[in-house]
Each structure stands twice: as C-alpha cells, then as structure tokens.
Amino acid sequence: MAKNKPEGYLTAKESRKISKENRRITNQFEKQRKRKNVPESEYLTTMHNPDNAVEFDDLHTYFFTDAGTVKSVDGVSFEVPVGKTVGVVGESGCGKSVTSLSLMQLIQRPQGQIVEGEIRLNLGDGKAYNIAKTPNEKMMKLRGNYVSMIFQEPMTSLNPVFRIGEQVDEVISLHDEEGKSKETIKEKTIELLKMVGIANSEGVYQMYPHELSGGMRQRVMIAMALACSPRIIIADEPTTALDVTIQAQILDLLRHLKDKINSSIMLITHDLGVIAEMADYVVVMYAGRVVEKGTVREIFTNPCHPYTIGLMASKPVVGKQVDRLYSIPGKVPNPVNMPDYCYYKDRCEMCVERCAGEYPGEISLSPTHKVSCYRFYDGKGEK
C-alpha cells in the first residue's frame, strides 16, 4: 500500500508472531492456575500491617493482546485500612477497574493475567491470602464473603429475566453458610432490601429489574454486594450513571452501611467531588501506575503531582469563577508502547531536566503522602 503506515501498524507476520508468543506465556499461567488441590501454604501469607484489609503490593496485571502486551496495571502498591474508604481516581483506561478486578480475580483470562506482585487480603485472626495465587475454588468462597463489588452500570449488571428477589437470594444461598432454608433466605433478602432504603421491599422482591429506576437498581446492587457482610466493598463508579440527587442518596447509604457492618470501601471514580466527600485516603492513578497517594486532606490541600494538579484544575467547581478551564495538553500514551521515562512527561508543564531519565520512584512527602515525580527529589535529598 502506498499509504503511510500509522503508528503501531503491524504486518500480519508480526501479529502472528506476537500471538504465538502470547499463547506460550498465557499457557504457562493457565497451567499454574488449573492445578488441582493446591496446598494452602502456596497462597497463605501474612499482612504487613494487620490493620489493613487489603494490601496491593507491586501488582502487575497485563493483557496479552494481538497488538502487543498492554500493561494495564504496572506496579501498583497501596493499602486499604480496615473501616476506611480509599478513593481511586484517574481517567478511563488508567487501570482503576483492572486493579479492582484483580482483587476479585475477575480479570478476563487467559489474555489477562496477574504477572507479578501480591494482593494480600486480610481474613482476620492473623490469616491472609495472596489473591494473585489463590485457586478458583477458594476464590469462590472469598467473593461475596470477604470481597464484593458494586458495578458501574446498574442497568446492565442485573439479569433482566430473573426477579430481584431471586437474584439476591442466589447470593445468600451460595455464600452464607448458615440458615439455608428458603424462608430464612427470603426473610434475609427482604431485610437487606429494607436496609438499603427500599420502602416497598416485599413488592420489589417480586419485581423485575426493568420495573425499577436507576437509583433503585443501584440499591439492589448494593444489597447484593452487602448480602454477606464483606470486609471490603469495591464500588466501581457506583454513582456515575445516576443523577446528582440520587447520587447523594446512594453516597449517604454507602457511608451508613459501611459503618454498620464495619467494612472498608475501595471507591473507584473519576469525580473528585465524590472522592472528597467519601474517602479517607486517595490514590491517583495514571497510565497503570500510582502517581500520588495520601490522605484526602493532603491530596486536596497540597496536590503535588502535575497530573493531580491538572485534574483538579480541569473540573469546574460550583461557586468558583474561572474564565477558562485548564485542560491537560496531549493524550495518554499508547498502552502497548509505553515510554521508558515518566509517562506523564509529554503532557507535563512542570518538567525538570531529570524527567528525561527513567520512571521516577516514589518520594515520601509525609508518612502518608507519596508522589512519583522528579520535582520533589532534590528538596528531600532522596532517591
């Protein structure tokens, strides 16, 4: 063809080579996964800090696609303390959702694999599992009981052909050990629906998802997620599809329920307002890496990474008049071909000379506030 080859163009031969290589790698991982009767010692570990519900430690989740390896999560480390809410912010495609799916082990296999790193899940009594290595049958016990997820789209994540009651019942009958009789399960479901603020819970039990509004459906999703009082709730953009007034209701509800069953929340969103309101700790992600993390006050009063600053400046705030919104120049680098310097360098307006070097490591600005940016290397004298 006379046409210029666009960036990232692959010939059929190259593509075949990549997929062959991918198959080899993923087969190895799958073989590891599919072993039967894996001894518990392989995935038993201890928490580095017993006050944490979950610790992500240098997590790498890759997708082996025909266009090349996509490093969706590339060395992410952060903790979720017991009883606290951790907000994860970032643009779409920055690896927020993949991080949370890794914790649930719901990554699309065999293309998606946790390649490296640990996710330590606190089971209480000094016991902890490394989710990255936990076999499937054990995982089924953990999902729902220890970790559960509220999905983004309440419209599509409920099954349209089953009644609400049946769908919530199923969760309880699969995960709850005691009280398996049908009546007790139904009682519990109705109690749950009441707990999430559905007034007509007996009626809703008999309804189909299409009969409910978006806010009600999200409440049902929350009821399902909370059915077995999990230790950690992953809320993946729980309010993005909802109106502000309904959003306020749902956020209120999440906050109350969290205290009631004393669990932790990992809140994934791109709305900084929601984060400021809900979270105790904030993790800012960009292109698969954590660029900044700290307590909510540190991040909002003293944002340090240029990306965090840009993100805050680009959102209009009610009551604050600006003539022009700041917009971050450029776009996210190609996920297949990540540069070897700081991923944000090409869009950054605060570059220093050292930025041309390798990806910056993490700098502690305070015991809780950490940032990956060369601008802070000299002041602290660390490397």
Partner 1 sequence: MADANTTKKEFTPVTYDPQYILMVNELKKHFPIKSGMVARTIGHVKAVDGVTFNLRRGTTMGLVGESGCGKTTTGRTILRLSGEKTGGQVLFNGKEVYDLSGKEMRAMRTKMQIIFQDPFSSLSPRLPVGEIIGEAVREHGLASKGEFDDYIDRIMDHCGLQPFHKDRYPHEFSGGQRQRICIARALALNPEFVVCDEPVSALDVSIQAQIINLLKDLQEKYNLTYLFISHDLSVVEHISDTVGVMYLGNLVEYGDTKDIFKNPLHPYTKALFSAIPVPDPDAKMNRIVLEGSIPSPANPPSGCKFHTRCANCMAKCKEVEPKQKEIEPGHYVVCHLYDDV
Query: Quick one: tokens of 332?
Result: 């996210």
Work out how close the CB of 172 gets to partner 1 at its nearest, in angstroms, rounded to a whole number: 26
Cα–Cα–Cα angle for 146, 151, 157, rounded to 5 degrees = 115
Asked if 303 is part of the footprint of partner 1 (rule: CB under 8 A), the reply reads no
Given 215, 230, 288, 360, the residue binding partner 1 (CB under 8 A):
215
Q: Which is nearer to partner 1, 179 or 273 (CB)?
A: 273
Residues β-bridged to residue 60: 74, 116
Within 13 Å, how many C-alpha atoms sit on residue 54's CB side?
31
Q: How many residues bind partner 1 (CB under 8 A)?
A: 42
Residue pair 129/44 in contact by the 8 Å Cβ criterion = yes
Shortest reach from residue 228's CB to partner 1, in Å: 28
Region label for 19, one of left (φ > 0), alpha (ψ between -120 and 50) or beta (otherwise): alpha
Q: Exposed e or buried b for every residue in 164-179, given b needs 16+ CB within 10 A?
A: bbebbbbbbbebbeee
Which range in 122-130, 133-141, 209-217, 362-370 contacts partner 1 by CB under 8 A? 209-217
140 binds partner 1 (CB under 8 A): no
Choice from 195, 198, 228, 296 touching partner 1 (CB under 8 A) = 296
Of 36, 26, 268, 231, the C-alpha closest to 120 is 231
Binding residue for partner 1, selected from 11, 36, 244, 381, defined by CB under 8 A: 244
Q: Is 159 in the site for partner 1 (CB under 8 A)?
A: no
Record the tokens describing residue 27, joined without a space.
């087969």
User: Does residue 319 bind partner 1 (CB under 8 A)?
Assistant: yes
Which residues neighbour 146 within 8 Å (Cβ) at sequence distance 6 or greater?
121, 123, 230, 231, 232
Region of 96-104, 115-123, 274-282, 361-369 interacting with partner 1 (CB under 8 A):
274-282
| Contact status: 311 vs partner 1 (CB under 8 A) | yes
Helix (H) or strand (E) holding 26: helix 12-34
Residue 379 half-sphere exposure toward CB, CA atoms < 13 A:
7
57-89: buried (b, 16+ CB within 10 Å) or exposed (e) per residue?
Answer: bebbbbbbeebbbbbbbbbbbbbbbbebbbbbb
**Is 210 a binder of partner 1 (CB under 8 A)?**
no
Question: At closest approach, how far in Å is the CB of 343 from partner 1?
Answer: 14
| Closest distance of CB 363 from partner 1, Å | 23
Stretch that binds partner 1, among 7-15, 33-41, 112-120, 213-221 (CB under 8 A): 213-221
Q: Does 23 contact partner 1 by CB under 8 A?
A: no
Nearer to partner 1, 142 or 223 (CB): 223
Pick the piece of the chain touching partner 1 (CB under 8 A) from 118-126, 136-144, 306-314, 352-360: 306-314
Is residue 346 a contact residue for partner 1 (CB under 8 A)? Answer: no
Rounded CA gap, 199 and 193, in Å? 8
251 binds partner 1 (CB under 8 A): yes
Taking CB under 8 A as the criterion, the residue among 5, 327, 358, 379 binding partner 1 is 327
Q: Is 196 in the site for partner 1 (CB under 8 A)?
A: no
383 binds partner 1 (CB under 8 A): no
Residue 1 or 318 having the CB closest to partner 1: 318
Instruction: Check residue 143 and report its DSSP letter.
Output: B
Distance CA 363, CA 345 (A): 17
**Binding string, residues 34-73; x marks residues near partner 1 by CB under 8 A:** ----------------------------------------
Burial 144-155 (b: 16+ CB within 10 A, else e): bbbbbbbbbebe
Distance CA 293, CA 282 (A): 6
Residues that bind partner 1 (CB under 8 A): 91-92, 213-216, 243-249, 251-252, 270-277, 296-297, 300, 310-312, 314-319, 322, 324-328, 331
